[in-house]
Chains A and B, each alone.
Chain A
C-alpha cells in the first residue's frame, strides 16, 4: 500500500475548513469585535446609535445624532448644577427654582465664570473664564460669544428661535464690554434668559477659526461647521463618515475636568435588534433607542443593563384644530377619553414610561396634573361626541412615523378603541422624512409627535407648543387668553405670578385638549454594567464626558 507523507505546510480542503471555522470563532468573540473598533478598551467608549449626526452645526440640525454629540465638542456659558437622581448612581440637573439666585435657578459656571444679572431682568453681564482654548488652540474671548449670537441672527436656523426666546432685539443686544466680558441687553424683562443661555442649541463657537474658514459664498462657515467643529468642549472631532461612524478624542488642553474616556466611537447601527446584539455581545458600551421588548430582554443579562430615568420626553397625538370636527373642543376631549393610556404603557411600552397627565414634562417646575381627567372612559367619550353634534362619529386620518416602531401598535390600539365611539380613523404610515414634513406643514388631521422642551421652564414649554405664534404649534391651537397667560409667564420676574399664569394656562389647555395625551416614555440608557457616571439632561442627550468605566 502506498502511503503519502504529508508536509505540515500542505493545505487540504479540510485544513482550509478548519482555518475558516477558527477565524469565524475568533471574529465572533466580543473582545475581537471590540478590538476592531478600538485598541484600548478601558479608555474607549463605543456607542451603537441609530444614526450618525446629520450635521455638527446646531444651527443646521437638531436631529438625534447631533443632539447626542454636540455637547462633547462645544461648551456653554453656564449649565445647571446636578443633584442625585432617584435612580442610584445617576445624577440629574437641579431644576428646583431658587429665587435667591440670579436667574432663579441653581446654575453652575462653565465658560462664564461669573455673571451679573440685573434686578430688572433686562440685562446680564458674563465674565468669561481666562485661558480657555478651543480645539483649534484659539483663546476664548467675548468676541466668540458676540460672533455666536451674530451668527444666530444671520444664519436664521435654530438660532432665530433662540434669540426670540431670549428676547434679544437684535445683534446690538450682545455687546463686547472688554476682552473677557460680554453683556446681553433686552428691551423687556425675561425670567428665563439665564437658563436659555445653557440650552443645548446655544454653544459658543471659536470665532477665529470660523472666520478663517468663511468664504464669500459662505460667510458664516456653515459648510465647515457641518462636518467640523470649532468649540471649547472636552472633545475634538477625529473623523466623521456619515452613515458609518464618528470618532471623538478627548482634548488634553481642555479647561475643565478631563473626561474618563479618551476616545468615543459613535457607530451608526440602524437596526435596534443589531444594536441590542452588539451590546449583549460586549462589542459596544451603549446601545441607543432600543425597543421596549429589547430593553426588557436585558433584565437577565450578566453584562448589560438598562438605566431608566424620569425624562422630559412626551408622546402625544396632535389634534389639528384646522380640520373639522377637530375644531370642536368636545370632540377633542372625547378623543382623549378614548385613548387607552394605561394599556399602552403596560403593553406596548412594557412599563418603560408612564401615563401622560400634563401638557409639559410633569417634573418641570410649575407643571400640574391637577386638571387632568382623561383616563380611559368610553361612555364619557360617547356622550361628549353626542354633545358635540356627532353622535354617530366621523372619519379622519391618523399619521404616524414608520421610523418609530411603537407608534404603529399604538395607532392600531387607538383605532380599535375609537371604533367603539363610532370614530373611524385611517392609519397613514409615513417614512421618517415625510413624517416630519407633514408634522411641520400641519397637513394631517391627526399626527403623532414625540418631543421634549429642552429648557425646563413652564412658560418656555407652553410657549413652544401652545402659543398661537409658535412654529411648533402643530395642532394650530389658538386661545387668546392662553396666549396672554403664556406671554405673562415669560415677561414677569415674580416667580409666584409666573407660575400662577402657567397654571391658569394649563387649565385652559387641558380643558380644550389640543393633544391626545399618551405617555411620558422616559429616558432609557441600555449600557454595559461597567459603565457609570450617567447624568440625565432635559435635552435627553448623551454626554460622553460624564461617563466612566466602573
Chain B
C-alpha cells in the first residue's frame, strides 16, 4: 500500500490499492500545468493567492486602523488619504477590505474543514455499512435520516437559527456553518464509498481480513478524495458568502471587526444617496473571492475527469484554428 497523491487516483484504472506510487511532485506539476494552460482556472488561483496574501500582510502594512473610528473622516469618498473612502463611523474602507480575509477566510476554512472531516468520516462508514443487517445497518440508516432532517431546512435559515441560539461570535459561525455543511460531505463520501466498496481491490482487502477502519483508511477514502476536495474549494466560497450573509443580517461577527458582509450591511443604505463606496468595495472583494474559490473547485473537478483533462487548452484550439498545427 502506498500514500499515493490523491489527485492521481481518481481514474478507475489508476486506483492505488497497493500498486505503484506516483511521486507527488510529478502529479502536482502535471496539475499545475493543466491549470496554467487554462486562464479560466488560473484566474481563480491568482485571486485567492492575492486575497490570502492581502489578509496576511495587512497588519504590517502602513494602513489606517481597521477598527478605530475617525470622527473627522465621516463618509469620505475615495481619495489619496483613503483610497476606498470611509464609512459612517469614519472607518477606512481600504484597510478594512484588506483585513477582512483574516476573518472571512478563517471562518470559511475552519468550518469547511470541520464539515468535511465530520461529514466525510460519517459518510465513509455509512457507505460501507449501507444495507448491512444489525447495528451497523441501523446506525447507517439513522445517520442518513438525520441528514435528511438537517437538509430539509434552507441552509441559510438553519445557520441563522444556530447562530441565534449559540450567540454572536466567530466560534458560533464556524460551528453553524460546519453543521449545515456536514450532510453535503456525508452524501458525497457515502456515494463514493458505495461505488468503491464493490471494487475488486476492496473486496480483496476485506477477504484478507482488513477491518472496516482499515478498509476506509487505506483503500476507500484515498480514492474518494478528489470530489471531496473539489467540493471543499467550492464550499469555502459558499462559506465566505454565508458568513457575509449572516453578518449582513446582524448575526455575524461583532462590529467593528473587519468583515465583508458586515461592511456591506453598514454601507448599503448609503448607496441610494450616492455614497456607494462603503458597500461596493467589500462587495467586489467578496464576489471576487467567491468566484476565485469557484474556479479552483472547477479546476479540480475538471482534472479529476479524464475527458475534461484531455480537452485541448484554449491556446491549442487557437493554434489549431490558425493552422499552425494542433495538440
Contacts and interface: CB of A to CB of B under 8 A. Distances in A.
Contact of B271 (A273, A347, A428): A273
B254 A429 contact: yes
Contacts of A277: 272
Interface string A390-422: 000000000000100110110111011001000
B250 A427 contact: no
B272 A409 contact: no
A416 B272 contact: no
B71 A427 contact: no
B266 A343 contact: no
Q: Which of A271, A293, A411 is the most central at the interface, judged by chain B CB atoms within 10 Å of its CB?
A: A293
Contact of A426 (B74, B254, B268): B254
A291 B269 contact: yes
A532 interface: no
B274 A409 contact: no
Contacts of B17: none
Q: Per DSSP, are chain B's interface residues mostly helix, strand or loop, or mixed?
A: loop
Given A409-B88, A412-B91, A347 B74 contact: yes
Q: Per DSSP, are chain A's interface residues mostly helix, strand or loop, or mixed?
A: helix
Nearest to B252: A429
A293 B273 contact: yes
By size class, the interface of chain B is 20 to 34
A89 to B, nearest CB: 26
Contacts of A415: 69, 256
Interface string B250-294: 100011100000000010111111110000000000000000000
Given A409-B89, A411-B255, A426-B254, A294 B168 contact: no
A431 interface: yes
A14 B212 CA distance: 66
Contacts, number: 80
B163 to A, nearest CB: 11
Nearest to A275: B272
Contacts of A348: 74, 88-89
Q: Which of A297, A405, A429, A430 is the most central at the interface, judged by chain B CB atoms within 10 Å of its CB?
A: A429
A412 B71 contact: no
A416 B74 contact: no
A408 B266 contact: yes
B191 interface: no
A258 interface: no
A276 B69 contact: no
A408 B255 contact: yes
A208 B80 CA distance: 71
Q: Which of B72, B250, B270, B272 is the most central at the interface, judged by chain A CB atoms within 10 Å of its CB?
A: B272
A416 B69 contact: yes
A179 B250 CA distance: 56
Interface in B93-132: none
13 contacts: A276-B273, A291-B270, A293-B269, A294-B272, A347-B90, A348-B89, A402-B250, A412-B69, A412-B256, A413-B71, A413-B89, A429-B250, A430-B250
Interface of B: 67-72, 74-75, 87-91, 168, 250, 254-256, 266, 268-275
